Structure 1
Amino acid sequence: MPDHFRKFLPWIILGLVVAMFLSLGQGFGEQKKGNEVSYSQFLQRVESDRVDSVTMKGNAIEGRLNDGTRFSTFAPDSAKPVEKLRQHDVRIQVQPSESGETTVWSILISWFPMLLLIGVVIYFMSRARSGAGGAMQFGKSKAKMLTEDSRKAKFEDVAGIDEAKQELEEIVDYLRDPGKFQRLGGEIPRGMLLVGPPGTGKTLLARAIAGEAEVPFFTISGSDFIEMFVGVGASRVRDMFEQAKKNSPCIVFIDELDALGRKRGAGLGGGNDEREQTLNQLLAEMDGFEKNEGVIIVAATNRPDVLDPALMRPGRFDRQVVVPNPDVLGREQILRVHVRKVPLSPDVDLKVIARGTPGFSGADLANLVNEASLIAARATKRVVTQRDFEMAKDKLLMGAEKRSMVMDEEEKERTAYHEAGHALVSLFVPGNDPLHKITIIPRGQAMGVTMALPEKDRYGYQKNEITARLAMMFGGRVAEEIIYGHEDVTTGAGDDIKKATELAQRMVTEWGMSERLGPLRYAGNDQEVFLGDQLTRESHVSEHTARLIDEEVRRLIDEAESRAKEVLGKHLDDLHRLTKALLEYETLGSEDVQKVLKGEDPGHGDSGTQKPDTAKSSASVPSAGKGKPRDEGGTGGDWEPEPQPT
């Protein structure tokens, strides 16, 4: 029953009861009013021999006339109608008085308003008591115990993160057969922390534990503990562990632990007292004087850097299971899981798709399969083809096509030269990732995109590879300067300049790639989220050092720009040739670009290149916002590679 209907159900029943009593009372009154006659009229009818028979119940008289009409009247106590009736040969029937029944009914009718008022008062008093009980429930835990029906995920549904899955399978094995581990003195970990970027499958692993474990499984979010009232969070933690102890052995899963377990005493305001009290209670419950035998805490977070050190020590979260983005084999396994219910064409090769999606998380791959299915459905296909997956991948990496943006020929030509400049520098400067696709069709926030994809998973980049990327970023602006002159460049390189500057600054201040400044870290701690700590760290850089940093960043940018100019100057004919092909076809794959550089017509290549419909053709000036931003985060200052449109 819906909640909104259940809320109004008592009022509906009350209204129906009132309507029923009113209708009964009204009908009874109308019936009495229609048949009742006065006692004098009754005597007149008797004297005129119009009455055939009567039934007497005490002073009440009911009768029937000769024509069959029924009537009723009431005789006074002093009246003696029997003799009168016998004189006129009226048949008389006497029944015992039913005054008790009539009295009950009349009492019920007369007392109904009072009873109704009493019922309403009782109803509201019960609601008030339940409200007070709800207030008392305010400090109760919001952890939900999963039922058997909701435990649908299994370990077989988790792919691409075999090491993390193995760690959690051990927990399930311990719960099923603790003696196997206790014989050798082993104890079950009290807590396991799942750490990894968003979308890598941390919550899915927890759901798999719930599906595999044959013990009660509680789930709650870290934000469910925090309230504006002091002491509520700590009360909820105590209640959660009390419930867990009653159902031990059991597993408690806390999602988004960073909402609860941030470092204490940090920040400008001295921290949040309510959150810190809640965290203190969690620490005491996990490893305090009272032992929680059989209660295993599994938590997940993508911000382990902000967690309190006391929460991370052994005895509380004994294990930290890293759930990273999958490698190429992991991506293929994840794709096979997600395509189980998708009808695939024989030309679909999941290995090729996995190789072409470096940096994709499990959630990204699930979204890729879903987008490919939607694209095939829009085209009214019966199966999903390899081309559908390629189109879905381009949509996720570069954004959806916006063919409705019709631009004039001059702007279209500028966009083509800009993207051709990026592509040529990417091809002829060693160290760049292989070129994947060029398009001058607006996609997402990008007005033109040049996409490069690494050949394999990368976990670090060399200095020459980063400088090659810097040169490629300036390829578009340099191409505009060569063709149109320095005074006629557009704002299209704004985002390229921004990303190149940030990359050069990280080379100097974080990665020690400057000979003048050496292998020292000069940047503020990116992991700190509080302004006070950043200001304190950045103030350690002297004015002289800050000037050197600016000079080194400027040197790297100037060298990258000069390198791009040198490459495009040598390949000016290729720049014109590639631009002409882009104006004709709008989108070129890597094989198509190679054909163009050899002087061949790309035609209908493997990448699906074809001449656009001129009525729907579009192009635009390069935009300052280009493509999908790369996540350059990560611990240790590593540059995490990801496909990057330029």
Structure 2
Amino acid sequence: MNSRNQSYVVYLLLFVAIIAMLIFQFNSQGSGQGVLSINEVVSEITRGNVTRIVEDDNTLKITLKDGSQTTSTIESNSTLVEQLLNLGVTTEQLASDKIKIEIKPPSPWMGVLTIIGYVLPFLILGGAFYFIFRQAQGSNNAAMSFGKSRARMFTGDQPTVTFADVAGVDESKEELKEVVEFLREPQKFIQLGARIPKGVLLVGPPGTGKTLLAKAVSGEAGVPFFSISGSEFVEMFVGVGASRVRDLFDQAKRQSPCIVFVDEIDAVGRQRGAGLGGSHDEREQTLNQMLVEMDGFDTDTNIIIMAATNRPDILDPALLRPGRFDRQVVLDRPDVRGREAILKVHIKGKPIAPEVDLALIARGTPGFVGADLENLVNEAAILAARRNKKIIGQQEFEESIEKVIAGPERKSRLISEEEKLIVAYHEAGHAVVMNTLPEADPVHKISIISRGMAGGYTLALPEEDRILTGRKKLVAEMVSLMGGRAAEQIVFDDYTSGASNDIERVTKIARTMVTRLGMSPELGPMVYGQKEELVFLGREISEQRDYSEDIAKKIDEEVRKLVNDAYETAKSILTQYRENLDAVAHRLLEVETMSRQEFEAIFPPPEPKKSGTPQLMGLN
């Protein structure tokens, strides 16, 4: 029963108790006060006004000659007739036919009802107070349960997730298979003197499958699995976090061997003594307790700690040392084969058309993580359902890729013919410049239909994945981004606000090349400025400048030179291929969307394209 229902019960019992006491009181008063005294009854009998007397438990109900009724009471130590005769009523008056005397026998329930009338109100009040005290005790227990762990335990009897449900992270699965084998056959390692890692830290970008992999380990091992988030330890009360850590490990020791999984451990595992305006004492107490529990004096428990974070750089060094988190399993963004394997996992149970090429979809989604690919398959299914199809086709998958990258189409957005012409030349400028640069990625699709926040977009996808990015590739990317603004100037001799995002991205790339990647011939292979991470709104709000004002001036000059050179290169390319620019723009005005085959039929690439990183360039 919840607290609201308990309150209703308490109020109802109090109301019933009050009504019962009032009724009993009125009945008592009514039975103790007669309308006529016994002397007045004798007078009425003597005058011949009484026709009937009914005695019921010392209460007289008297019927007069005129038909009216009244009441009176007599003493309980003698009978009615004796009391009337003692008060002067003659035997002849009582024996006459004018008066009928009826004496009712005492009711066997009278004593019980009397007792109930006295006891019932107290019982009801007692029940009301019981509910009140119970409710107060429940609140007290809730207050005392703050220090209890809120971890959810899943038994390993019926696993819902196994390694078969995880794809694209083969190396990580191999690392964790040892953990599963130890939980299944610990003697195999113990007899060789091997010590299984106590803690495994899963590190990777959001959406790469850290939590899913931890569940798979539990499912494969068939052992209890405690799951809790790092943010569930700390609350407003001092000492609650440390108490919950102790309680969590106490529960885990009773269920050992088992797995304790702490998701987003950076919520409590940040470096101690760091933070804006001093340290967070409660969070540090929680971290200290976790450090002690993970590697304290009790070292014989078969508990494996697994944790996940996408910010390993801010974790406390004591948390990462051997003996606590012995291993760091890195879950990186999957390659093309990993993405294809992930797609195969997510299409299980869905009606897929035979012509769907998952390898082609995987090649068209570089940089996608597992969560992105799951969303892609779901968006494709939604598109197919919206079109009243029974199966999901290749077209739905291709459209869902663009929707995940750029957002939904906004066909209802009305623009003037002049703006439509500007958008067409802007996107054609991006495409023509990318098609002429050997280092740029191939053009996959061009559209002047609004999608998301972009007025139009040019989608460039690499032929294969790349890990390293060269200087020429970055310069080609900057030139490609400047193609839209350069086309506007060449054709219309004017600028628009549509290139704002392109300019922002170009400036960021140029500054990164100069200050972080050492790609400036003038400043050399050096890093300028140390990033200082402050725990405030989860963002980096300061950068320590470790260079002089002269160097700062040179950095600005180098960034400006890179951006201006990229812009001038884009202008020269578009001036050289002006006819192709016009042809692509006018074709876009006719069809609004062009595929790679249609684009290359108008403007074949001068040289074979090289691989690179995915790009999406569009008009804001």
Q: Report the CA distance between 1:423 and its aligned residue.
A: 0.4
The DSSP-based 3-state class of the residue aligned with 2:445 is strand
What residue identity is the alignment partner of 1:101?
Answer: V
- Decide whether the 8 Å contact of 2:408 with 2:452 is kept in 1: yes
- Residue matched to 1:232: 240
Which secondary structure does the structure 2 equivalent of 1:438 belong to?
A: strand
- The answer as to 2:113 corresponding to 1:102 is yes
Please report how far the alpha carbon of residue 192 of structure 1 lies from its aligned counterpart in structure 2 after TM superposition: 0.5
The CA distance in 1 between the partners of 2:181 and 2:95, in whole Å, is 100
Q: Is contact 1:245–1:292 with CA below 8 Å preserved after alignment?
A: no
Identity across the alignment (%): 47
TM-superposed CA distance for 1:228, in Å, is 3.7
Question: Take 1:42 and 1:19, find their aligned partners in 2: how far apart are those partners?
Answer: 41
Match of 1:11 among 7, 13, 32: 7
| Contact 1:57–1:97, Cα closer than 8 Å, also in 2 | no
Deviation at 1:283, TM superposition (A): 1.4
The offset of 1:315, in angstroms, is 0.5
Specify the SS of the correspondent of 1:512.
coil
The offset of 1:154, in angstroms, is 2.4
For the pair 1:215 / 2:211, whether they are aligned, the reply is: no
2:454 to 446, 455, 480: 446
Q: Are residues 74 and 187 of structure 1, via their aligned partners in 2, closer, same or farther at CA, if it must alter by over 3 Å?
A: farther
Distance 2:300 2:412 in 1: 62
Match of 1:430 in 2: 438
Residue 553 of structure 2: which of 514, 533, 547 is its match? 547
Give the counterpart letter for 1:514 in structure 2: S
Answer whether contact 2:156 2:225 (CA < 8 A) is retained.
no
Q: Deviations over 1:199-237 (max 9, x none)?
A: 011111122233333332211111122234433322222
Q: Find the counterpart in structure 2 of residue 241 from structure 1.
A: 249
3-state DSSP of counterpart to 1:517 = coil
Q: Distance in 2 between matches of 1:593 and 1:203?
A: 43
Q: Mark the runs of 5 or more structure 1 residues left unpaired by the alignment.
A: 65-70, 599-639
Which residue is equivalent to 2:587? Answer: 581
Q: Deviations 1:541-578 (Å, cap 9, x if unpaired)? A: 12232233223222322322222122111211111111
What pairs with 1:396-407 in structure 2 (closer than 5 Å)? Answer: 396-407=404-415
CA distance in 2, matches of 1:534, 1:475: 32
**What CA deviation, in whole Å up to 9, does each residue of 1:117-159 have, x standing for no partner?**
4444443333333333333332332222235699522222111
Counterpart CA distance in 2 for 1:93 and 1:540 is: 112
> What CA deviation, in whole Å up to 9, does each residue of 1:64-92 have, x standing for no partner?
9xxxxxx9997654553599998769887
| Number of the residue aligned with 1:570 | 576
Tell me if the contact between 2:3 and 2:135 (Cα under 8 Å) persists in the aligned partners. no
Identify which of 265, 281, 288 aligns with 2:289: 281
What is the deviation of 1:642?
A: 4.3
Structure 1 pair 16–147 and aligned structure 2 pair: CA distance change class (3 A): farther
1:545 counterpart letter in structure 2: I
Aligned partners of 1:99 and 1:493: how far apart in 2? 98
User: 1:472, 1:581 → 2: CA distance?
Assistant: 20
Shift of the 48–265 alpha-carbon distance from structure 1 to 2, 3 Å rule, reads closer
Check whether the contact 2:487–2:574 (CA below 8 A) recurs between aligned residues: yes
Q: Which amino acid in structure 2 is aligned with residue 504 of structure 1?
A: A
1:517-548 Cα distance to aligned partner (Å, 9 max, x none): 222212433767689x9999743212232233
> After superposition, what is the alpha-carbon deviation per residue over 1:477-502, rounded to whole angstroms, capped at 9, x for unaligned?
111111111xx211211211111111
Partner of 2:616: 644
> 1:437 touches 1:451 (CA, 8 Å); kept in 2?
yes
CA distance in 1, matches of 2:62, 2:192: 100
Residue of structure 2 equivalent to 1:80: 80
In 1, Cα distance between equivalents of 2:142 and 2:601: 73
1:184-206 CA deviation, whole Å, 9 max, x = no partner? 22222110000000001111112
**Closer/same/farther in 2, CA of residues 60 and 214 from structure 1, 3 Å limit:** farther
Q: Is the 8 A contact 1:286 1:292 kept in 2?
A: no
Partner residue in 1 for 2:162? 154
1:406 CA displacement? 0.7
Work out whether 1:411 is the aligned partner of 2:419.
yes
1:464 aligns with 2:472: yes
- Give the drift of 1:328: 1.4
Q: Quick one: which amino acid aligns to residue 408 of structure 1?
A: S
Structure 2 match to 1:522: 528
Matched ranges for 1:305-320 at <5 A: 305-320=313-328
Query: Which of the two has higher C-alpha Rg?
Result: 2
- Residues of 2 paired with 1:642 and 1:438: CA distance? 14
Partners of 1:297 and 1:175 lie apart in 2 by 12
Alignment pair present for 1:140 and 2:148: yes
Separation in structure 2 between the aligned mates of residue 378 and residue 537 of structure 1, nearest angstrom: 49
Residue 518 of structure 2 corresponds to which residue in structure 1? Answer: 512
Deviation at 1:360, TM superposition (A): 0.6
Q: Give the Å deviation of 1:433.
A: 0.9
Q: Match of 2:58? A: 59
Q: Is the 8 A contact 2:530 2:545 kept in 1?
A: no
- Paired AA for residue 508 in structure 1: V
Q: CA shift at 1:450, angstroms? A: 0.8
**In 2, Cα distance between the equivalents of 1:306 and 1:187?**
28
The aligned residue for residue 497 of structure 2 is: 491
Q: Comparing 553-562 with 114-123, which one deviates more in the overlay?
A: 114-123
**1:233 touches 1:275 (CA, 8 Å); kept in 2?**
yes
Q: CA-to-partner distance for each residue in 1:579-614, whole Å, 9 max, x for gaps?
A: 11111111111112123337xxxxxxxxxxxxxxxx
Unaligned 5+ segments in structure 2 are: 64-69, 83-90, 605-611
Aligned partners of 1:265, 1:12: CA distance in 2, in Å?
A: 50
Q: Is the 8 A contact 2:507 2:559 kept in 1?
A: yes
TM-superposed deviation, 1:434: 1.2
Amino acid of the structure 1 residue aligned with 2:593: T
- Find the aligned partners of 1:26 and 1:162 in 2 and give their Cα distance: 80
CA shift, 1:289, in A, is 2.9
Q: SS of the residue aligned with 1:644?
A: strand
Question: Partners in 2 of 1:489 and 1:547 — Cα distance?
Answer: 28
Kindly provide the amino acid, as one letter, of the partner of residue 530 in structure 2: G
1-structure distance, mates of 2:414, 2:542: 51
Q: Distance in 1 between matches of 2:10 and 2:589?
A: 75
| Change beyond 3 A, Cα 1:329–1:50 | farther
What is residue 214 of structure 2 aligned with on the other side? 206
Instruction: Tell me which amino acid in the other structure corresponds to 1:578.
Output: V
Indicate yes or no: 2:261 matched with 1:262: no
After superposition, the Cα gap between the structure-2 partners of 1:642 and 1:120, relative to the gap in structure 1 and judged at 3 Å, is farther
The 3-state SS of whatever aligns with 2:530 is: coil
| TM-score scaled by length of structure 2 | 0.84
SS in 2 for 1:226: coil
Secondary structure in 2 matching 1:251: strand
- CA 1:38–1:269 in 2, change beyond 3 Å: closer, same or farther? closer
Q: Contact 1:581 / 1:596 at 8 angstroms: preserved in 2?
A: no
Contact 1:397–1:645 (CA<8 Å) still a contact in 2?
no
**Is residue 183 of structure 2 the alignment partner of residue 193 of structure 1?**
no
TM-score (normalizing by structure 1): 0.81
Amino acid at match of 1:80: L
Specify the SS of the correspondent of 1:449. Answer: strand
Task: Tell me the distance in 1 between the aligned counterparts of 2:447 and 2:273.
Answer: 51
User: 1:57 and 1:151 mapped to 2: Cα distance?
Assistant: 77
What is the correspondence of 1:604-643 to structure 2 with a 5 Å cutoff? Answer: 641-643=613-615
Q: Does 1:250 align with 2:258?
A: yes
Equivalent of residue 603 in structure 2, options 597, 600, 611: 597
- Asked whether the 8 Å contact 1:358–1:642 carries over to 2, the reply is yes
